[in-house]
Amino acid sequence: MKRDKVLILALLAIGGLSGTHATQSPARLRPNIVLILADDLGWADLSGFGNTFNETPRLDRLAAQGVRFTQFYAGPVCSPTRANLQSGQDQARFGITQHIPGHRRPFAKLIDPVVSPHLPRNVETFAERLRASGYATGYFGKWHLGGEGYGPAQQGWDVVFEHQGNTVIPEVSGSAGTRRAAELLAGKAVAFIEANQNKPFLLQLSPAAVHVPISTRPELLKKYSAKKPMPGYPSRPDYAGLLEELDETAGRIADALDRIGLARNTLFIFVSDNGGLEHLQDGTIVTSNTPLRGEKGSLYEGGIRVPAIVRWPGVVPAGTVSDTPASTMDIYPTLLELAGVPAPENQSLDGVTLAPVLRNPRASLSRDTLYWHLPHYHHSTPAGAIRRGHWKLIEFFETGALQLYNLRDDLSERHDLAAEHPQKARELRSALAAWRQQVGARMPTPNPMYDPARANELAGPPARARER
């Protein structure tokens, strides 16, 4: 009997460490999971990533307790990232290659594909996989992957509060006056943690911060209005205040985990859904992604490289930095492995597990290539991109022009090497085309109504809704 007990304990320990035998492990050995997905937060916005105007002490503390990724990627706009995050598959497979419902430019050179209106219900999300294995699941904030009948409640999330925007009206919040969304969502997230502290839980918090329209609390606006600007950075007091609200949200959740005693058994992930929005359609400056080139809605690094932090005490080495290229679609297989849950049988995953990098931030992955597909007009023209090793190629669909960069030597993508390395450019273009064929990526087509004088005219949603 004693021998059998020792054997059982050994198997449980192996399952807890390797994440491959979670069905044999007690619930307490499986990590709780907290995922915060910021909205439009740029790679250069956090103080822990070098910004001297914005103040994000709680996120900086999380980074000091875990790993900070320097080459983490997302989609170029929100709905594509949210699709690849929930599915573990590239968004091009679903036709969600622009925010839902997308921009329209009726007189542009190309007609871009119609954006799919929702994530297909037959996609098995990571929430569905984890819930089936015994996890409590809670989703709070922005979804943007479909309306009624296609929300988080239909995709594996048990406790749901959807909200999009940085303020909450009384009819929604149940309070006497308008409330700040970040504060309300943080409260609901903490309540979810408290209610499920005795079993494994999966929590995703998707605040609207720092998406436009920008606003913040009066005292934060006053604080940053009195602060010296950062040279070469817009240093907007309202943006910095809204970012501090987001930082407070992360801090409240971290504090709740500490108070309840769950921090050491909780995988905490913080990431943004795309690069920062540098300017509105009317030219209003919002933020800057410098030294990265480009912004949200483009395939330059400023549009797709995002801040990412992961903490799991005792598993993820504290105070470390990883330069390994990773992607939001890698989160799905990572969560499954660490929770000991098998991948879906009828759904191949495009992402790869980041577990080796979390345990050793200097580790590399077997994958060396990442792809992007943006066949739409946003803050750029329709394009595709591929990164293989340090090389990155952007193909612009209007003209067929190619731009080639070596990101190791040229982080800011200022030196186009396509003419100097034509063979490399051809090689990457061929690989990109083959990948589009593989995933069924939808391409733009010539526009018979093309009018160069009117090519930039937008049709569809009103101006405020265009900056999704």
Note the pLDDT of residue 458: 87
Whether 468 shows a pLDDT value over 70: the answer reads no
Buried b (16+ CB within 10 A) or exposed e, 140-150: bbbbbbbeeeb
Task: Report if residue 293 sits inside a domain.
Answer: yes
CA–CA distances in Å: residue 392 to residues 262, 384, 405:
41, 11, 5
Task: Report if residue 370 sits inside a domain.
Answer: no
- Domain assignment of residue 209, given as a range: 30-91+116-365
Q: How many helices (H) and strands (E) would you count in the chain?
A: 12, 17
Return the CATH number at 250.
Answer: 3.40.720.10
CA–CA distances in Å: residue 181 to residues 175, 215, 216, 242, 245:
12, 11, 10, 10, 9
Task: Report if residue 19 sits inside a domain.
Answer: no
- Supply the DSSP string of 355-403, one letter for each residue: HHHHH-TT---S--EEEEEE-S-SSS-SEEEEEETTEEEEEETTT--EE
pLDDT confidence band for 463 (50 / 70 / 90) = very low
Decide if 272 contacts 307 (C-beta within 8 A). yes
The size of the chain, in residues, is: 468
The pair of structure tokens assigned to 398 is 């209007």
The pair of structure tokens assigned to 319 is 């105070």
- pLDDT per position as a tens digit, 367-395: 999 999 999 999 999 999 999 999 999 99
DSSP H or E stretch at residue 106: none
Note the pLDDT of residue 202: 98
Rounded-to-integer distance, Cα 93 and Cα 91, Å: 5
Rounded-to-integer distance, Cα 180 and Cα 191, Å: 17
Note the pLDDT of residue 460: 64
Decide if 305 contacts 69 (C-beta within 8 A). no
Task: Report if residue 386 sits inside a domain.
Answer: no
Map tokens 């709070």 to a residue.
Answer: 140
Whether 5 shows a pLDDT value over 70: the answer reads no
DSSP letter at 334 equals H
Whether 261 shows a pLDDT value over 50: the answer reads yes
Whether 19 shows a pLDDT value over 50: the answer reads no
pLDDT confidence band for 103 (50 / 70 / 90) = confident
Rounded-to-integer distance, Cα 171 and Cα 175, Å: 8
Q: What is the mean pLDDT of residues 401-405?
A: 98
Rounded-to-integer distance, Cα 44 and Cα 255, Å: 25
Rounded-to-integer distance, Cα 143 and Cα 15, Å: 33
- pLDDT per position as a tens digit, 124-142: 999 999 999 999 999 999 9
Task: Report if residue 196 sits inside a domain.
Answer: yes
Of 74-83, 123-132, 255-264, 450-459, the least confident: 450-459
Whether 422 shows a pLDDT value over 50: the answer reads yes
Please give the share of the chain, as a percent, with pLDDT higher than 70. 92
Backbone Cα Rg of the chain: 22
Give backbone dihedrals phi and psi of 92, rounded to 5 degrees, phi first: -65, -25
Tell me the H-state helices in 68-125: 78-87
Q: What is the mean pLDDT of residues 225-245?
A: 97
Query: Count of domains in the chain?
Result: 1
Write down the pTM of the prediction. Answer: 0.92
Decide if 41 contacts 276 (C-beta within 8 A). yes
Q: What is the mean pLDDT of residues 111-129?
A: 96
Please give the share of the chain, as a percent, with pLDDT higher than 90. 87
The C-alpha angle with vertex 67 and arms to 64 and 68, in degrees rounded to 5, equals 90
Q: Alpha carbon 370 to chain centroid distance?
A: 15
Note the pLDDT of residue 454: 95
Average pLDDT of the chain to the nearest whole number: 92
- pLDDT per position as a tens digit, 207-233: 999 999 999 999 999 999 999 999 999
Task: Report if residue 9 sits inside a domain.
Answer: no
Whether 121 shows a pLDDT value over 80: the answer reads yes
Task: Report if residue 376 sits inside a domain.
Answer: no
Rounded-to-integer distance, Cα 152 and Cα 125, Å: 10
Contacts of residue 255, Cβ cutoff 8 Å, sequence gap at least 6: none
Task: Report if residue 294 sits inside a domain.
Answer: yes
Whether 197 shows a pLDDT value over 90: the answer reads yes
